[in-house]
């Protein structure tokens, strides 16, 4: 019986050694998983801190730009130099107002494209390109786009011409329905 007990003890010791090795492997895996989680948490908290920093810097830059625009206008008033009103308004709009989506019909989008291709257009040009029977419909559409701030209007004699300038458009973000 002493022989069996030595073999049994050796078997138990071997079994215990295997269990210890399995536990140490599991512990090593758990440790590496915990280390990865700590790194991921540190990365996400770093990204959050970076995002907050960028937002704070954006706010500071906006305030600086606003201050610069007002300082320029005061300097222009004091010195009597020319300070373009349109540029001041553009800077103030960019600083104070976020871009707004401007929904346009497919027809208005096509008219804008025609004006862009022709560089400058009058209601007669749009009437011919869009196959309108009269000038009133084309004139009304062009005037509507002008009032929305998408076109500039020039009057030469009795004719009114419209031009699209992406840099001066007050609502540059245009959303049109799918065709």
At 132-146, the pLDDT tens digits run 888 788 899 999 888
pLDDT, residue 108, reads 85
Q: Which of 7-11, 102-106, 118-122, 169-173 has the lowest mean pLDDT?
A: 169-173
* Other residues' Cβ atoms within 10 Å of the Cβ of residue 4: 8
DSSP secondary structure of 135-170 = HHHHHHHHHHHHHTTSSEEEEETTEEEEE--TTT-S
* Other residues' Cβ atoms within 10 Å of the Cβ of residue 112: 21
pLDDT, residue 66, reads 75
More confident residue, 47 or 149: 149
On the CB side of 124, CA atoms within 13 Å amount to 4
On the CB side of 66, CA atoms within 13 Å amount to 11
More confident residue, 155 or 167: 155
Task: Give yes or no for a contact between 162 and 120, defined as CB atoms under 8 angstroms apart.
Answer: yes
CA angle 79/82/86 to nearest 5° reads 130
Going across the sheet that includes 159-163, the strands are 121-122, 159-163, 152-156
Minimal CA–CA distance to 103: which of 157, 161, 171?
Answer: 171
- In the predicted model, what is the mean pLDDT of the chain? 75
Which of 45-49, 62-66, 138-142, 147-151 tops mean pLDDT? Answer: 138-142
Coil, strand or helix at 109: helix
pLDDT, residue 161, reads 92
Average pLDDT over every residue of 73-82: 65
Residue 112 clears pLDDT 50, i.e. is over it:
yes
Q: Which of 36-40, 42-46, 104-108 has the lowest mean pLDDT?
A: 42-46
pLDDT, residue 169, reads 56
**Full-model pTM:** 0.42
d(CA 79, CA 46): 48
- Angle of helix 135-147 versus helix 123-130 axis, rounded to 10: 110
Minimal CA–CA distance to 161: which of 121, 111, 110?
Answer: 121
Residue 15 clears pLDDT 60, i.e. is over it:
yes
Residue 1 clears pLDDT 50, i.e. is over it:
no
């Amino acid at each position: 019986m002493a022989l069996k007990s030595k073999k049994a003890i050796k078997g138990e010791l071997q079994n215990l050694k295997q269990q210890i090795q399995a536990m140490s492997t599991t512990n090593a895996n758990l440790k590496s998983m915990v280390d990865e989680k700590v790194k991921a948490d540190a990365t996400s908290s770093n990204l959050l801190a970076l995002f907050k920093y960028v937002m704070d810097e954006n706010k500071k830059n906006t305030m600086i730009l606003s201050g610069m625009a007002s300082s320029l206008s005061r300097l222009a008033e004091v010195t009597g130099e020319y300070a373009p009103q349109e540029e001041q308004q553009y800077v103030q709009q960019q600083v104070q107002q976020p871009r707004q989506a401007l929904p346009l019909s497919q027809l208005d989008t096509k008219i804008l494209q025609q004006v862009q291709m022709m560089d400058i257009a009058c209601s007669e040009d749009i009437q011919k390109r869009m196959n309108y029977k009269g000038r009133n419909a084309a004139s009304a559409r062009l005037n509507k786009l002008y009032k929305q701030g998408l076109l500039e209007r020039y009057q030469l004699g009795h004719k009114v011409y419209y031009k699209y300038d992406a840099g001066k458009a007050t609502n540059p973000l245009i959303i049109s329905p799918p065709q």
